[in-house]
């Protein structure tokens, strides 16, 4: 059961970094909870309205070392590492997903730029 949830949330995180989704306010609207907010890697704070009206960063990114940490049956913390090929930098990321009206929605997100390379990060399930 936990592996199914992990796979599902990983797919949602991959959706979140997909450029086609990031270009679509409709797709972002479905993914982000109404109370969504983030602390960006730039240090800025953004809410759902900011993301839908102002857009989000369009970068080619790959997700690695995805893990989940259930906080309750309806709230899960996910952590992972991003290689941003466009901006040539790496970030450690965390998200809080909430089960709202029967579907998982992104409630909170934070990215922190890191000098760590992918080879420095422990592999999944280690």
Cβ-count burial of 90 within 10 angstroms (0-12 exposed, 13-18 middle, 19+ buried)?
buried
CB contact at 8 A, 59 and 41: no
What integer pLDDT is reported at residue 121 of this predicted model? 82
Whether this model's pTM surpasses 0.75:
yes
Q: Is residue 86 part of a domain?
A: yes
| Domain that includes residue 41, residue range | 2-120
Predicted pLDDT at 126 = 41
Give the number of domains in the chain.
Answer: 1
CA distance 60 to 65: 17
pLDDT value at residue 124: 62
CATH number at residue 7: 3.10.450.50
Q: Could you tell me the mean pLDDT of each successive run of 10 residues in the chain, 126 residues long?
A: 92 90 90 95 90 81 95 97 92 97 97 91 64
User: Is beta strand 61-72 parallel, antiparallel or unpaired with respect to 45-47?
Assistant: unpaired
69 found inside a domain: yes
What span, in angstroms and rounded, lies between the C-alpha atoms of 116 and 93? 13
């Amino acid at each position: 059961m936990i592996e199914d949830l992990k796979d599902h949330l990983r797919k949602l995180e991959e959706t979140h970094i997909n450029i086609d989704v990031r270009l679509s306010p409709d797709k972002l609207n479905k993914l982000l909870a109404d109370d969504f907010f983030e602390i960006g890697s730039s240090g800025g704070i953004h809410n759902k309205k900011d993301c839908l009206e102002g857009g989000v960063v369009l970068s080619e990114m790959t997700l690695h070392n995805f893990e989940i940490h259930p906080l309750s049956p309806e709230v899960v913390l996910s952590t992972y590492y991003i290689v941003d090929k466009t901006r040539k930098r790496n970030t450690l990321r965390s998200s809080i997903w909430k089960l709202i009206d029967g579907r998982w929605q992104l409630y909170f997100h934070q990215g922190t730029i890191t000098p760590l390379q992918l080879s420095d990060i422990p592999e999944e399930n280690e």
